[in-house]
A and B are shown apart, each in its own frame.
Chain A
Amino acid sequence: MATRDSMIQVTDLKKHYNMGAIKALDGITVDICQGDVIAVIGPSGSGKSTFLRSLNLLEEPTSGSIIFNGIDITKKKYKDAQGKTQKLNIDHLREKMGMVFQHFNLFPHMTILDNMVLAPMKVKGLSREEAEKKALELLDRVGLKDRADAYPIQLSGGQKQRVAIVRALAMEPEVMLFDEPTSALDPEMVGEVLDVMKELAHEGMTMVVVTHEMGFAREVGNRVLFMADGKLLEQGTPQEVFEHPQNPRLKDFLAKVL
Chain B
Amino acid sequence: MDQFLQIENFGRIAPYAELFWQGTLVTVLLAVFTVMIGFCLALILALMRMSNLRPFRSLELDASGHVRQGGVLPVLSRFNPLSFIATAYVEILRSTPVIVQVFIIYYGVFSLIELPGFRMFGFIRFDRFFPGVVALGMNSGAYLCEIIRAGIQSIDGGQTEAARSLGLSQKQNLRYIILPQAIKNILPAIANEFVVIIKESAITYTIGVQDIMSAVNAVRGATFVIIEPLLVATAIYFCLCFPTSKIIAYFERRMSRGDKR
Contact = CB atoms under 8 A, between A and B. Distances in A.
A119 to B, nearest CB: 4
B168 interface: yes
B167 A91 contact: yes
Given A19-B69, A153-B261, A118 B176 contact: yes
A123 B173 CA distance: 11
Interface residues of B, number: 28
A74 B70 CA distance: 18
B180 interface: yes
B260 interface: yes
Given A16-B69, A75-B64, A76-B65, A123 B168 contact: yes
A54 interface: no
B164 interface: yes
A155 to B, nearest CB: 11
B227 interface: no
Question: Interface range on chain A: under 10, 10 to 19, 20 to 34, or 35 or more?
Answer: 35 or more
Nearest to A57: B164
Contacts of A94: 164-167
Contacts of A45: none
Nearest to A114: B176
Contacts of B163: 107, 119
B176 A122 contact: yes
Given A109-B181, A154-B261, A58 B69 contact: no
B69 A74 contact: no
A154 to B, nearest CB: 7
A92 B167 contact: yes
Given A107-B159, A118-B176, A74 B66 contact: yes
B153 interface: no
Contacts of B177: 107
Interface string A60-87: 1011000000000011111000000000
A171 B167 contact: yes
B162 A58 contact: no
B97 to A, nearest CB: 40
A86 to B, nearest CB: 11
A122 B168 contact: yes
Contact of A122 (B70, B161, B162, B172): B172
Contact of B166 (A92, A109, A119): A119
A58 B173 CA distance: 14
Contacts of A98: 165-166
B59 to A, nearest CB: 13
B162 A107 contact: yes
A77 B261 contact: no
A147 interface: no
Given A58-B164, A119-B166, A171-B167, 10 more contacts: A76-B67, A77-B65, A91-B168, A98-B166, A107-B177, A118-B166, A123-B166, A123-B172, A151-B261, A153-B259
22 contacts: A19-B70, A58-B161, A62-B69, A75-B66, A76-B67, A77-B61, A77-B65, A91-B169, A98-B166, A101-B162, A103-B158, A105-B162, A106-B162, A107-B163, A107-B177, A109-B180, A119-B167, A123-B167, A123-B172, A151-B261, A153-B260, A168-B165
Nearest first, the 6 A-B pairs at minimum CB distance are: A95-B167, A75-B65, A105-B162, A119-B166, A99-B165, A105-B158
